[in-house]
Chains A and B, each alone.
Chain A
Amino acid sequence: MSHKQVVMAGTDTRDLTKLAEYEAVGGYASLAKARTLGPEQITNELMASELRGRGGAFFPTGRKWSFVPSPEQNPNPHYLVINADESEPGSFKDNEIISRVPHRFIEGCLITAHAVLAKHVYVYIRGEYLGPYEILVAALEELKQRPDLRGDVTIVVHRGAGAYICGEETALLDSLEGKRGQPRTKPPFPAIAGLYASPTVVNNVETIATVPAIVEMGGAEYAKLGVPNSRGTRLISVSGHVERGGNYEVEPGISLKDLIFAPELGGGVPGGRAVKAVIPGGSSTVILTGDELDVGYDFDSLLAKNTAMGSAGVIVLDERVCMVQLGIRVSEFYEHESCGKCTPCREGTRWMTQILRKLEAGEATERELDLLLSVCDRINGKCLCPLGDTAAMAIASYVAKFRDEFVAHLDGGACPCGDHSPLDGVLAPVAQHIHDHASELVPA
């Protein structure tokens, strides 16, 4: 089965990291077309395309742009900030976009800047993404020779310093301003008071890389792809216990089963083992059991299962996986990455991990299992930003859907899987998130 490519179009046959190659497949034509249109027309095309943000929150992109006040309403400069701080465990699509179609991404930046009246674009790229960073910088160097393309827009690439929370847009803005990366309270939303308290549009890499195609084909045409509420294509990161881990651009609506098992996509589970569970949209989404795979991979279908596409990181877990161990791995991540600003997340994620470890050791009782759910419930919906809320929802879903397995751990039961629960390739353990180089550079 072949899949319609929009973001990655042309990459099968050419090296689109080169400006000449990209122009040879019609690159930067959309930019030229966009410049003949008024900002409002471009925003209208975006509205017509029904494009929704690819960072995970699914907010309609055109509407977001339309919130930006006019220069008469707010004389401050407008900023476009690209969130390339892709840190959600299980998601690695933006990495591939920047690495393989940097110019399409840059073209999207320039069109968007034109649409939202920004002269400055900041790309906040995850610090660990050194490879994509270098590719992006090389592409921008090429662009320097082309004032006709660049116009009067300045694109600045800023490398993050390894904090998951800086993928949250307001924490990203604080970090970009040189402050401690912690989320702000909203309102005001960035469109009104974002970077340096000025009107700011914050968009995800994939969202922006889609913009040239929408301008080219027209919003209405783009909206013919996909299914209602999930238009266009999405780049999906498939990982975990699959034969062919990687990014696949598909139209939403495809079944989750096909994503995992189709030979040109996930290619099935190694060794023919059964799928025990799937995390459908990055580690912060509610888990699905192996019996729930007959679901369309789109907003509405997943919502009906109480979960989400999130940042489109599909993590496949085979029958050997211990759900308590998975819980520890996920909980440790959120404990480690909690920024510490609001109380429930800071204290609650740590407590969750403590209880899960006790469970895994077989030292917990039924009361502690209830306590774990109560702690999740007390975090959820009370935090300043989604980090704590989603962590609690994810962990609670493991217990809800695999309660028998948790119960088997209780009262001295210890882990039924013992050491035979491979989590290799299923999210990275927290130890890999800790950077020892800082202490090496600064001797004690």
Chain B
Amino acid sequence: MTDHVTLTIDERTVTVPKGTGLVETAQAAGIEIPVFCYEPRLGPPVGACRMCLVEIEGMPKLQAGCTLTAQEGMVVRTARTSPLASEGQNSTLEFILVNHPLDCPVCDKGGECPLQDLTFRYGPGNTRMTFDKRTQEKPIPLSPTIALDRERCILCYRCTRFSESVSEDNDLVPLNRGANTVIGTFEDQPYRSRFSGNVVELCPVGALTSTQYRFEARPWDIQESPSVCGLCPVGCNISATTREGKVKRIQSRNHPQIDEGWLCDKGRFTYGHLTAADRIKTPLLKGEAGFEPLEWDDALDQAETLLRAGGDTVVTAFSGTESTEQAYALGRLLRAGLGANGAVLPEEIPTALDAYRAPLSSIRDATTIVILTRDLVADRAPIVDLWVKAARRNGATILTEIPEEKLEDAVLISDNAAHAAWLAQDIDAKSAFYLPRTPNGRGVADAWSAAGDGEASNEEPRVVIVSGDDAAADPAVRALAAGADFVIGIGLFQESFEGLADLVLPATSYLERDGTTVNLEGRVQRQRRAVIAPCPDELAWISKLAERFEVEVSPHASLAFEEISGRIYGGVSFAEIGEQAPLPPAAEKGAPVPAPKPVQVPVADGLRVIRYRPLFSGPVVDRVPEVEFQKADHEVGMNPADARERGVIDGDMVTVNSRGNFHRFKARIVRDLPAGTVRLSTYAEGDLTEFVAVRK
């Protein structure tokens, strides 16, 4: 076997593929080489902490095991069999601890701390340090979401390496030198990155803690629920930490094909929306003085009356935040019960794209990536941005224009589904990723089609159902609703439906329900109920309401899924999806897709405004004050050439004006923005027209 090597670790013989790291090799032999700084996801090993010291036969000095790869015939001794290695690891821990505050009883990390665990296994039982320990100001707010305790920090440089080599924001750096080294940001600016929260999880001690989780729980009185994030179409695998029925934090649950263990800050830090002040807990009926709470029986009576009034003209506008089962249940009720086939679906995804299906992780190995999106990838599907960055570090070419020739190994990333389906064929791409606007728009569309068939009524809708807070905020949906006699809302937050709905039924959040969602790869994943919602589950009341229309809808997500799956997912069961969902194979390439009509780009004086939806926006984010600092509303993105022409540098305040309306924004230089355009958030001042002038 030339592609394998055989070596000895602590007198155990082990055979591993060539190139396997020594830490992993030892693991394969059932032996622990303890580590702090080693984290393969952060790039090449740095050998900084010296926790992994091992003895290698033929080498005079102890070696940092994490920096070595398995070699044929190597003889390795770890602390288990080598007194030298044992002494080395004991030394490292003694040095780490001489200035560590040992405040474990009040440290959030206590109980789930690698430093505690490794000290217990390999460290000295007492201290020989008799001098005053190094003290630092603490905790320092690294940002409103992260607290930094520099005394606890063991300088493993995981966080700064993440900032440098994964998120590539380079904002978090080591400052000073030697024993005075501390982690920090330039001029104590807040650490503002879409991915900042990952450093909390990477920290092997209690130096970087979440301000939301601080002093909220101890590791022995929490529970973990394996679930999937419901805030964007990536569908990162998460673990929701709960204590006494409340979500206390969100952590990653590494799915190597989807997220590689990273989360964005929106997914990590916005669970506070569950307890928002305007959370809808009971049905609400519009009265003379605003919404009034309603008993459930009365609410179902009201809903039945309105639906019967709407008949087959009822149109349902979805947000794409629903679970596939919820959309299916609503679909069954409306399509089978009323013949109401009209729906506003957030996504329409051509099946032709299924032939270009691939796991997100395959982006990393691409040689060429074609990115055709109006929004930054990081705003629509943040983790995809990390995969693209990883590919770029590996030497991939990134194109932001339609290539003129066929690119066989190219990966296409687009926010226009129809265009992507055609272009993937045209350039003969290896794989194509369409970035939907909504977290589960794909599953909702699947569910709606599985729930029935038949054409929508030609009549003006007499009743419109607005499902979800995002749909309630959509101007097109609001316009549709304005023409209807009655509007039924289903949502999380009362404010979303003020002045819009006549009857509002409470919804559950993705952290409060069982069900499935379909991510942008086309992977069906399971969400699990982490906490009990303050209201009944949608499936429960939809099922009861459906009974009144003589439609059978199961109140159980598993049964609803079985029905859907039987119709469109090839009969795969809830259990088969499991905790780490597999990706269905790519479909066969089908008939040629016609070229979409070219979009006319208007031309005028000034810079064309591209409006984008920032990651930190929307009804959920608006209810979490801790992430307010991440909002980019008052920034204008500029192409480097346009900025240079106007003497603008990153961070300058600039005036943006059109037709007599002037606004001040902070300029951000965005490399991949086309020349002649500026990028403004959809939430930025609306009186700016499509073309604007920018000056310093």
- Residues of chain A touching chain B, judged by Cβ–Cβ distance below 8 Å, are 163, 180, 184-185, 335-344, 346-351, 354, 358, 368, 371, 374, 378-379, 381-384
Contacts and interface: CB of A to CB of B under 8 A. Distances in A.
B266 to A, nearest CB: 31
A188 to B, nearest CB: 9
Contact of A344 (B50, B131, B134): B50
Nearest to A389: B61
B181 to A, nearest CB: 4
B177 interface: yes
Contacts of B98: 347, 351
A185 B45 contact: yes
12 contacts: A337-B178, A340-B177, A341-B46, A343-B49, A344-B95, A346-B155, A346-B179, A347-B95, A347-B96, A349-B179, A350-B99, A350-B179
Contact of A342 (B50, B61, B131, B173): B50
B45 A343 contact: no
Interface centre among A336, A337, A358, A384 (most CB of B within 10 A): A384
Interface in B328-375: none
Interface of A is mostly: helix
B6 interface: no
B397 interface: no
A381 B177 contact: no
Most buried by A among B46, B53, B87, B88: B46
A342 B63 CA distance: 13
Given A185-B47, A351-B129, A343 B62 contact: no
A185 B67 contact: yes
Nearest to A374: B128
Nearest to A187: B67
A442 B159 CA distance: 27
A346 B95 CA distance: 9
Contact of B48 (A336, A348, A378, A384): A384
B91 interface: yes
B174 interface: yes
Q: Can you list the 8 inter-chain pairs with the closest CB atoms, starting with the nearest?
A: A340-B181, A378-B91, A338-B178, A347-B95, A185-B47, A350-B179, A185-B67, A340-B178
Contact of A185 (B64, B155, B174, B178): B64
A213 to B, nearest CB: 34
Given A185-B67, A371-B128, A384 B178 contact: no
B135 to A, nearest CB: 14
Nearest to B156: A343
Nearest to A334: B178
B61 A346 contact: no
A343 B154 contact: yes
Given A381-B62, A382-B92, A384-B64, A346 B178 contact: yes
Range for the number of chain B residues in contact with chain A: 35 or more
Given A340-B181, A341-B46, A347-B98, A382 B88 contact: yes
A78 B263 CA distance: 40
Contacts of A163: 177
B322 interface: no
A315 B325 CA distance: 81
B94 interface: yes
B92 A343 contact: yes
A378 B181 CA distance: 21
Interface in B148-190: 154-155, 157, 173-174, 176-181
**Which residue of A185, A354, A379, A384 has the most chain B CB atoms within 10 A of its CB atom?**
A185
A329 to B, nearest CB: 16
A354 B95 CA distance: 14
Contacts of B96: 343, 347
B599 to A, nearest CB: 42
Interface string B35-49: 000000000011111
A180 to B, nearest CB: 6
Nearest to B154: A343
Given A340-B181, A347-B95, A354-B131, 17 more contacts: A180-B173, A185-B46, A336-B178, A338-B179, A340-B176, A340-B177, A341-B48, A342-B47, A343-B96, A349-B179, A350-B99, A350-B179, A378-B91, A378-B95, A381-B61, A382-B62, A384-B50
Nearest to B91: A378
A340 B174 contact: yes
Contacts of B179: 335, 338, 340, 346-347, 349-350
A335 B48 contact: no
B471 to A, nearest CB: 48
Contacts of B67: 185
Given A347-B96, A347-B99, A381-B61, A341 B128 contact: no
Interface in B102-147: 128-131, 134
A344 B178 CA distance: 11
Contacts of B174: 180, 340
A304 B234 CA distance: 65
Contacts of A351: 95, 98, 129, 131
B75 to A, nearest CB: 19
A347 B49 CA distance: 11
Given A340-B155, A343-B154, A350 B178 contact: yes
Residue from A346, A350, A374 whose CB has the most chain B CB atoms within 10 Å: A346
Nearest to A337: B178
Contacts of A336: 178
Nearest to A367: B128
Contact of B53 (A341, A350, A382): A382
B132 to A, nearest CB: 9
B99 A384 contact: no
A216 to B, nearest CB: 38
Contacts of A341: 46, 48, 155, 157
Contacts of B131: 351, 354, 358
Contacts of B157: 341
A180 B181 CA distance: 12
A348 B178 CA distance: 10
Contacts of B128: 371, 374
| Listed residue (B99, B176, B179) with the most chain A CB atoms within 10 angstroms of its CB | B179
Nearest to B64: A185
A332 to B, nearest CB: 11
A338 B92 contact: no
B488 to A, nearest CB: 59
B171 to A, nearest CB: 15
B177 A344 contact: no
Contacts of B95: 343-344, 346-348, 351, 378
B510 to A, nearest CB: 41
Contacts of A378: 87, 91, 94-95
A222 to B, nearest CB: 31
Contact of A335 (B49, B155, B178): B178
Contact of B178 (A180, A339, A382): A339
A327 B181 CA distance: 23
Given A344-B92, A346-B155, A371-B128, A382 B177 contact: no
A387 B94 CA distance: 19
A268 to B, nearest CB: 38
A371 B154 CA distance: 22
B174 to A, nearest CB: 6
A344 B47 contact: no
Contacts of B46: 184-185, 341
Interface in B641-683: none
Interface in B8-57: 45-51, 53
B129 A382 contact: no
Nearest to A383: B50
A338 B408 CA distance: 50
Of B88, B98, B134, B173, chain A has the most CB atoms within 10 Å of the CB of B98
A168 to B, nearest CB: 14
A346 B448 CA distance: 62
Given A185-B64, A185-B67, A382-B91, A343 B50 contact: yes
A344 B91 contact: yes
A379 B131 CA distance: 18
Contacts of A344: 50, 91-92, 95
